[in-house]
Amino acid sequence: MNFSLAGKTALITGGTSGIGRSVAGRFIEAGAEVWIAGRRDSGTRIADDIGARFVRADVSRETDVVEMFDEVGRHARLDILVLNAGDGTLGKPIQSTTAETFEQVNRVNLYGTFFGLKHGAAAMNDNGSIICTSSAATEYRLAGFEPYVSSKAALESLVRSAAIELGARGIRVNAVCPGGVETEMAPYDAGFDRKVGKLAAIGRAYMNVTEIVGVYHLLAAAEGGFITGQAIRVDGGLGLGCTPAVFDKL
């Protein structure tokens, strides 16, 4: 099977919903044994529904992350680690963003990724793959998206550094940077789609999760074995240039 993950073990944080849950399903279809991590009380049921195993963890807490890897490590070593848990709070303009909100978002998006990279490498086999979820918003900003955007931009810096540090073990580290995805975290907003879709080459601001999971699959599989240190944008061409719709408005 092309892109087979047979014999591989994967752990996906933020795996009980949205992108994480869909990626877990794709990995299972490709033959991997999959663990999903999250904070939901329903995590075990969700894992059972898709054929995965569940470990409870709040990635904003370093002790939880250590315990998460310890729990999975009692059963298997990892070949694939997806650091996907995130806080999607878009916040307000910088001048009106509270320190508490800034801290909250960064504890999950930035510190959670840092803790995962810090402790995850020791739980992995050589020649594995670490995939972090960033955002297309780091490249094409819209007003009022702080502190979310800055947390994801810093995440991408961690990805590049980790790719250099872990490359000697054959471990690849990459980021996937989705545009709008219809999930619980980001429900479809027709007004946003109508406005921001005009800035995207393909004319829409949202994708469904089936349009993003293939990128994670590529990065996890042997076929993606020469890709590392990259931030791959899956955003429908947002911000490539002046689209016809924008040009007509001008």
Catalytic residues: 135, 148, 152
Q: Is 36 helix (H, G, I), strand (E, B) or coil?
A: strand
* Cα separation, 80 vs 224, whole angstroms: 12
* Cα separation, 69 vs 123, whole angstroms: 7
Cβ-contact 213, 23 below 8 angstroms: yes
Cβ-contact 112, 63 below 8 angstroms: no
Cβ-contact 178, 212 below 8 angstroms: yes
Cβ-contact 53, 100 below 8 angstroms: no
In this structure, what DSSP letter does residue 144 have?
T
Number of residues in the chain: 250
- Phi, psi torsion values for 151, nearest 5 degrees: -65, -40
Cβ-contact 12, 37 below 8 angstroms: yes
Cβ-contact 148, 106 below 8 angstroms: no
